[in-house]
Structure 1
């Protein structure tokens, strides 16, 4: 979590304006960084240069500017601390006096009522303490005395108990406030360190060695004597609480006060406050009030209403019989799409299209699942979980023996669920574990910054290097994480550019396109590759995959790079500052993680040589899982953070593919397609199917396109005169990654279109994305059906 968010989430709401202004300091650092880059590009003695901070000629003056900002923040914090400390000390003194007066009064009252009082017999019992909190009296048997039977002594006792409860609450509130003041000091101390570290990273000037010990730690709130005095005040409140609540037991009082503090912070701050912030953010993001969100087709409004954020009135339909009030949910687009899908499903079940009932039901499930996946009316993985349910209920699968009998529900359950867990799923888990380790221990970032720091300052070279880095990272940490990591690394480059420069646009587009292309570079780079492996028999070796995919990726990226240079001219107005090489050296942990990763990849590459020992690549994927989790390098939290939705999605695709094959539907479809493509060779089939897949994958997600089309492609490849099913399947999988014409075509594109500058303005427009994305997709398609096809033929697919 970014530190600015940490401050926001951990600040006392009433004190929020008195914490260190970390966000403002960060903006100042970025402006200084941009000015430094401008000076570097235009020259220190250019009289006509445009500088954000005029009349200053060296980075030492940046130190002075930044120090003044730090001094202002420190002064604000010191003033608030002194005021709050004075306020809390005054409350401490008042509480101390009131508790003393209470002890005197309580002693007198107890003495006056000690003879014959039913309360005295139970003075120190646990039951009585509960009764006090409920304002109830007990008789000698421990039963509650009715209010009308209280005598004068009892009324005096109730008055004392009320006063005691009030003092107890005041002590708890004072303890919480003092504890929050202690946390206030700690959070601001961390803030100064973070701000100085950010300044050193962006400007290259380390001030923390002087400013923190000589200025911050010498200020009143951060002195050791001040912190010790605050601890003494907290201990004194603990003693006061013990005197009125735990009969002088200091240890018990401390436990109770810590419990109250924990309850206050966890509930009031981390739950209520965060929820309020989340609701406010959602509503601000929509830009409308509750009264304005009344358009039934607004998907954001529907989502907020579903989560309980908005409470929109129902739709009222007036008839002669009276008004009918219907929930607004019925009229939103998601409900309409679900209704259409259900109608289509029931219609396909009822209208006879195929002779075999299992093929009829399988076709209905296939179309319904495709609609749900394509529209994403419900989450993709939910559709995948629905598939085995429908397959079993409608008895879609048949036995694998020569009789092909329709299986009953118990046998179909065993058949489908056994098929859903394959070695390919283990391969996916092994890939996730490698990606998690490379990311967690900063290996991917260290390697990426090392490469980019050597890219020089020529815009075209920086752009090309960044694209190849994005492609390489996509091979190992997925094309989902790669663009996020790359965009975080190039932030200094983006911040230093003038508004008229096209370099940021070319850089962000290049990362998105290269991450998509990188999705074809290795078998674990993207879900569509995993789906391809499920439909390829036998699976190609990793060496064969690399032999085909890496040259295709390299040539595709070079062509896309040329598009960026010709259409955007990124060198115009570009101000390039070298990305700083990470000062972090590889430690033993990083070396160990890298070694395990390389050994696993090497074994995957030569897995066919050891098939008699390991059986499948999926078995080898157990190695990084056992090593990383067994040694504690990855924890159960890391395991829980795996992209389990992708795994469920893949398993649903396996189940659907198995049903389509087992029911005989795939053979029937393939026979129909074969009659159309019978006159074509394998190359013609790839060109035709490739263009179809590229078009479909542009409008729906790459993974969904692969789930729907790859089983059919495999069967068609088997049915043509020159059978090459593996060639067609791999070609189709590569083309799924080439589809990047729209901002919604793949996660890298979504990340790119959502990237904004410091003022929240997007770098890219939809029109800019389409005019570069469509040509990039076409060029990548040409590379796959030419170079890729030749390489696949050489390998023997």
Structure 2
């Protein structure tokens, strides 16, 4: 599965690993970070703040240049924070370094792990393809409702599954239709481009939809945001963006077909032979878990605790085994933990407050500043991991002290999911490009459209709803 930008580039044939090139990138990143953070000697910044600035710049450069895997950068961040800021050793205050390893036990990591286990169970039993094909096979032959249905199914599945896995599955389900159409047919373009767009935007909808959401939620430890509250903040703007994308794709790529043969998708391609009882168990646990997540305010059980329901039941019943556990995206959890450690380093050393003090908040006002943060998140996420972008920006946004922390950082996470201008912007984009039915330039118009609309929609909505 394409879980990293490195995997994406390899798929597109644009990456051939070179240890010498990687070493040069690391060396240059260290020199630049040291020159900016350590040499000037900013008087208003503490020694620990200087080290935090060094770690922040170094991490941003390594994530951007991809000199090493993204999860490795997170581990490096954690190690540097412990050594340079925590100063572990004889006579040292344990609290000074323990706070950097505390993210390993963050409840949000367990929440996200529960989502990964649920997605793996759905994939292993073939439930995801069975549901997708069953719904799409009943939408009729007209292109407009079929495209809307494809976007809707992709959007909903990606709220609870990996965006990459959802895209791969939906492209496989729709492959018979896509390949039956002429290469220049606009409807084929709409399908191939619409699936990754809907998958990327669907990740906005839930706390487990995509890692940036968990990064933002972890920063809100003083005023935690629940599963249902996040959906209230994320789903409406995401739906609006998907609807806008549907209209945009229709106008951008007019189709010549009036009817589509859907008989090929009424049977599940590549379905598994999982027993019916396993599919029933997965459906029941899915339903129960989501209902419990959405009703936390009624029963009081925290969302991370509820995540143990699918983890435990699927393991005990044998729905998932050791092989499936090994296939989980552990590197994503490492990336998230390292990002949380970076956020602690940036905030606890006073670096975040120092950096935010440099911003023209009084001249611009809070809302324009937040919109600017979201725009930066969109731009950065087009060229680096959206999780890495959230890791860098969320701690800085928290230091704005707007009095509405959730309305400040949630749009940044949502904006990170709206980056899709290039084939390499997201793994779903790369999978769509790999079909060879669209060109790299085809991603630019829809990417710019969503990227311009998302900051305004997400900031305005979350400001009034959170």
Pair in the same fold by TM > 0.5:
yes
Alignment equivalent of 1:366, drawn from 56, 65, 69: 56
* Aligned match of 1:521: 205
Structure 1 residues 571, 466: closer, same or farther in 2, change over 3 A?
farther
Find 1:732's aligned residue among 389, 412, 418.
Answer: 412
1:455–1:781: structure 2 CA closer, same or farther, 3 Å change rule? farther
- Check the 8 A contact 1:395/1:409 in 2, yes or no: no
User: For residues 397 and 560 of structure 1, what CA distance do their matches in structure 2 show?
Assistant: 50
Q: 5+ unaligned residues in a row in structure 2: which ranges?
A: 2-9
Choose from 570, 581, 594 the match for 2:283. 594
Deviations 1:473-496 (A, max 9, x none): 101112121100000100110121
Q: Distance in 2 between matches of 1:660 and 1:696?
A: 19
> Which is further off, 483-492 or 628-637?
628-637
Q: CA contact under 8 A between 2:137 and 2:262: conserved in structure 1? A: no
State whether residues 362 and 396 of structure 1, in contact with CA within 8 Å, keep that contact through their aligned partners in structure 2. Answer: no
Equivalent residue number for residue 777 of structure 1? 451
Larger Rg belongs to? 1
Determine the C-alpha separation between the residues in 2 that align with 1:459 and 1:604.
35
Contact 1:459–1:571, Cα closer than 8 Å, also in 2: no
Structure 2 residue corresponding to 1:623, chosen from 309, 314, 317: 309
Distance 1:691 1:395 in 2: 31
CA distance in 2, matches of 1:397, 1:607: 40
Q: Is 1:662 matched with 2:348?
A: yes
Counterparts of residues 265-280 of structure 1 (less than 5 Å): none
- SS of residue matched to 2:399: helix
Tell me the residue number matched to 1:388: 78
Residue 346, structure 1, aligned to residue 34, structure 2: yes
Match of 1:581 in 2: 266
SS at match of 1:468: helix
1:101-155 per-residue CA deviation (whole Å, 9 max, x = no partner) reads xxxxxxxxxxxxxxxxxxxxxxxxxxxxxxxxxxxxxxxxxxxxxxxxxxxxxxx
Structure 1 residue 525: deviation in Å?
0.6
- Contact 1:358 1:397 (C-alpha < 8 Å) held by counterparts: no
1:221-232 alignment runs, 5 A limit: none
CA distance in 2, matches of 1:649, 1:596: 28
CA–CA distance in 2 between the matches of 1:508 and 1:444? 19
Give the superposition deviation at 1:530: 0.9
C-alpha contact (below 8 Å) 2:100/2:341 kept by paired residues: yes
- Which residue is 2:137 aligned to? 453
Label 1:605 to 1:492 Cα distance change in 2 as closer, same or farther (>3 A). Answer: same
Aligned to 1:449, the other structure's residue is in SS state helix
Shift of 1:679: 4.4
- 1:475–1:518: 8 Å Cα contact kept in structure 2? yes
Partner of residue 793, structure 1: 464
Structure 2 vs 1, CA of residues 441 and 523 (structure 1 numbering), >3 Å: closer, same or farther? Answer: same
Residue in 2 aligned with 1:604? 293
Cα distance in structure 1, aligned partners of 2:275 and 2:149: 22
Distance 1:620 1:299, change over 3 A: closer
Contact 1:452/1:579 (CA < 8 Å) preserved in 2? no
Q: Aligned residue for 2:148?
A: 464
Compute the displacement of 1:299 (Å): 4.8
SS in 2 for 1:521: coil
Q: What is the CA distance between 1:750 and its match in structure 2?
A: 1.4
Aligned-pair CA distance for 1:409: 7.8
User: Any conservation in 1 of the 2:371–2:456 contact (CA below 8 Å)?
Assistant: no
Structure 2 residue 383 is the aligned partner of structure 1 residue 712: no
Following superposition, the deviation at residue 779 of structure 1 comes to: 3.0
Q: 1:414: Cα distance to partner?
A: 2.9
Shift of 1:384: 0.6
Q: Residue 502 of structure 1 is aligned with which of 175, 186, 204?
A: 186
Distance 1:561 1:521 in 2: 18
Match of 1:417 in 2: 101
1:653 aligns with 2:339: yes
Matched residue SS, 1:490: helix
Offset from partner CA, 1:353-406 (integer Å, 9 cap, x none): 2442111111101110111111111000011111121112213589xxxxxxxx
Change (3 A) 1:550 1:490: same
Closer, same or farther in 2 for the Cα pair 1:635/1:363, shift >3 Å? same
Is the contact made by 2:133 and 2:267 (CA closer than 8 Å) also made in structure 1? yes
Whole-angstrom CA distance in 2 between matches of 1:694 and 1:335? 28
How far residue 622 of structure 1 moved from its aligned partner, in angstroms, is 1.4
Alignment of 1:632-647 (within 5 A): 632-647=318-333
